[in-house]
Amino acid sequence: MRSLFWWFMQYGARNSSLQLHEVWWLFLEAAERPHEELQQAFYFTPDWQRRHPDGGTVFGCEAFAAWFARAYGASGDWLDPTEWPEKQDAAAQLRTALLARASWRRLHPRALADASAAQALLDWLRTPDSGVRGAALRWCNALGAGVAAEMVRTGANVMAHFCYPSGLRVSAESLVAGMTANGVPVSLRDIHTDVEDDPFHVRFDGMEHHDVTIVHTQPEPFFREAYRRAGIFQRVPRTYRIAYWYWEFDSAPESWTNFARDVDEVWVATEFVARGVRKRVDVPVRTLFPGVKLGHFTPRDKTYFGLDKSAYVFLFTFHMMSVMERKNPLGLVRAFKQAFASTENAALVLKVSFGERHPQQLQALRKACEGARITVIDEVFSADKVLSLMHACDAYVSLHRSEGLGLTMAEAMLMGKPVIATGFSSNVDFMDDSNSLLVPYELVKLAEPIPPYDAGMEWAEPSTHQAAAHMRKLYENREWARELGAKARASALANLSVEAAGRRISQRLEEIRALRSGGG
């Protein structure tokens, strides 16, 4: 502790952007609850997990504690595992212990496939032949009814950017919400991105104890680093691994061929993405929409965001890390200026995230907005605040050149807002002329590379003139605009629900289970 404290004071606090009170709090918690800190450290130290794959269970915690005491010269009551709180439920501990012991698997090969076989394992663990003793035996004897059924339920490990404010985070959260709503147990792990992540990484400490792992991160730059960034050792035997990827063109990059070799299948959100990925990878590609659900938010009026309460406000939100040229806010600015004079009571809000990482592009955007009633908000909002801003505005507009999902458009539709959008790419899976205003486009090739997109790829160039006409129509026909928003909401509720998406995902997981157990 003394050496670690010295390191934090000399280097760690500065390199980790920690405040002094945060360092003190870390050491205070470690001093008051050292056994919990040791458990937490185990769940985020892959080398310890490799040495003691069941160290977080009642069956392996004693061996882990004894090894830790020897390896680090530690002593004290906090090393007594009988005083440690259980961080995993009974079924998860039993699955983990079984997977860590080849001898158990030889005797009970179907214990994770059939409830009666799982019950036979539990009965055997209570006998002297199993070798289970002491606290572990008492734990087994105290198990209630239903544990065997829980052991064989089809579940999934999900690794994703749960702490990174982005569309990928919302997609992963929706995926998990859909599975949970359909009774699919999940074990969650956050893939750390950078210091801008929300500070909740340690809440996602699930182990890889289900037979299927969904890795919800893009091939580049984090896919091959996902396990390391999540602080987890890859399970042996390996799980059935699924990649959940997004793309915005009709053909995926050539490099994805290599990444696909590390997985058993790929899931994508829309058929537009599926067509592009299928051209590049050899493993099965399945379209499984993650579902969209509005989170809870606090309604706030326009004045809260510094907007004119009487103005008809159009909104577009985007992430600078998602490539500004693709999101095309400059095209939207041109369309808005064409549609409205500065004296008219219409306004446009451009909600930007991480503009400081692309200062030249942000400056160009601000300059383009000059002379018009356009507000640029460059700030990372909480999910509550983002939805609150959308709720405060009157209409949503996206003149994107290509989209891998179109999440913000789906959210606006669920909120009952009229939506104007380019009639190209993934959003047309759920948008048409009956529930939105689609903007015609021409397909154009990229004249030069715009990383991660290569020169020669095609995307849309939406019609500025038609986008301006659509905005004008909403502005001049408020009642019609509200009716269109109501149709959008009804359509989104019927087709985009998290629960329906979860049913489809649950069905696919059951199919995988049947195939792996020899049942299909």
Instruction: Output the DSSP codes for 242-274.
Output: EEE----SSS--TTHHHHHTT-SEEEESSHHHH
Output the domain CATH number for residue 325.
Answer: 3.40.50.2000
pLDDT-wise least confident of 10-24, 40-54, 162-176, 410-424: 10-24
Per-residue pLDDT at 221 exceeds 80 = yes
Task: Check pLDDT > 80 for residue 9.
Answer: no
Specify the pLDDT at position 166: 84
- Residue 502 scores a pLDDT above 60: yes
Tokens representing residue 138 in the block: 């008492």
Q: What is the pLDDT of residue 439?
A: 98
Q: Which of 147, 180, 195 is the last residue of a domain?
A: 147
Cα 499 versus chain centre, distance: 17
- Domain residue limits at 92: 36-147
Residue 397's pLDDT band, with cuts at 50, 70 and 90, is: very high
CA angle, residues 17, 20, 24, in degrees to nearest 5: 120
| Same domain flag for 137 and 53 | yes
What pLDDT score was predicted for residue 354?
87
- 401-412, pLDDT tens digit by residue? 999 889 999 999
3-state secondary structure 488-519: HHHHHHHHCCHHHHHHHHHHHHHHHHHHHCCC
pLDDT at residue number 18 = 65
- Across the strands, what pairs with 375? 349
pLDDT higher than threshold 50 for residue 331: yes
* 181 plus 225 within the same structural domain: yes
Domain boundary among 147, 173, 198: 147
For residue 134, pLDDT over 90 is answered with yes
- 505 shares a domain with 487: no
Instruction: Look up residue 458 and give its two tokens.
Output: 């095609």
Q: Which residue has the higher pLDDT, 252 or 486?
A: 486
- pLDDT for the residue 237: 84
Q: Band the pLDDT of 125: cuts 50, 70, 90.
A: very high
The model's pLDDT over 289-316, given as tens digits with 9 standing for 90+, comes to 999 988 889 999 999 999 999 999 999 9
- What is the predicted pLDDT for the residue at 340? 97
User: Which residues, in sequence order, are CB contacts of 180 under 8 Å at separation 6+?
Assistant: 186, 502
φ and ψ of 10, to 5 deg: -85, -40
Residue 129 has pLDDT above 90, yes or no: yes
Query: pLDDT confidence of 519, banded at 50, 70, 90?
Result: low
Three-state DSSP at 205 gives strand
Same domain, 424 and 455: yes
Share of the chain above pLDDT 70, in %: 98
Total tally of structural domains belonging to the chain: 4
Shared-domain flag, residues 346 and 222 = no
**Claim to verify: residue 264 and residue 412 sit in the same structural domain:** no
Structure tokens at 423: 């009639």
Q: Which amino acid is at 502?
A: G
Q: How far is CA 122 from the centre of its chain?
A: 35
And the tokens for 244?
């959940």
Strand order in the sheet with 212-216: 186-190, 156-160, 212-216, 240-244, 265-268, 285-287
Angstrom distances, CA of residue 499 to CA of 153, 156, 364, 395, 507: 18, 16, 42, 26, 12
Whether the Cβ atoms of residue 234 and residue 178 lie closer than 8 Å to each other: no
pLDDT, tens digit (0-9, with 9 covering 90-100), for 249-290: 878 889 999 999 999 999 999 999 999 999 999 999 999 999
One domain, residues 112 and 167: no
Q: Is the pLDDT of residue 16 over 70?
A: no
- In this structure, which long-range contacts are made by residues 390-393, counting pairs with CB atoms below 8 Å and at least 24 apart in sequence? 390/315, 390/317, 390/415, 390/417, 391/297, 391/299, 391/300, 391/415, 392/299, 392/300, 392/301, 392/302, 392/304, 392/305, 392/307, 392/313, 393/302, 393/313, 393/314, 393/315, 393/349, 393/417
pLDDT at 520 over 60: no
Q: What is the pTM of this model?
A: 0.83
Average model confidence (pLDDT) across the chain: 93
Q: Say yes or no: 342 and 465 in one domain.
A: yes
**Residue after which a domain boundary falls, among 125, 147, 169:** 147
Is residue 286 domain-shared with residue 327, that is, in the same domain?
Answer: no
Q: Within this chain, do residues 65 and 131 fall inside the same structural domain, yes or no?
A: yes
Nearest to 214 by CA among 181, 239, 184: 239
Q: Which of 51-60, 241-250, 391-400 has the lowest mean pLDDT?
A: 241-250
**What pLDDT, on a 0 to 100 scale, did the predictor assign at position 1?**
72
Residues 43 and 120 in one domain: yes
pLDDT above 80 (res 22): no
380's tokens: 């990372």
Give the whole-angstrom CA distance, residue 290 versus residue 279: 22
Provide CB contacts within 8 A for 54, sequence distance 6+.
Answer: 60, 93, 96, 97, 100, 101
pLDDT (0 to 100) of residue 223 = 95
Same domain, 450 and 476: yes
Q: Is the pLDDT confidence value at 461 over 70?
A: yes
pLDDT-derived band at 15, boundaries 50, 70, 90: low
Containing H/E element for 32? helix 20-32
pLDDT at 518 over 80: no
Angstrom distance (rounded) from CA 386 to CA 328: 20
Q: How confident is the model at residue 334 (pLDDT cuts 50, 70, 90)?
A: very high
Does residue 17 surpass a pLDDT of 90?
Answer: no
Q: What is the pLDDT of residue 454?
A: 86
* 162 within 8 A of 173, measured Cβ to Cβ: yes
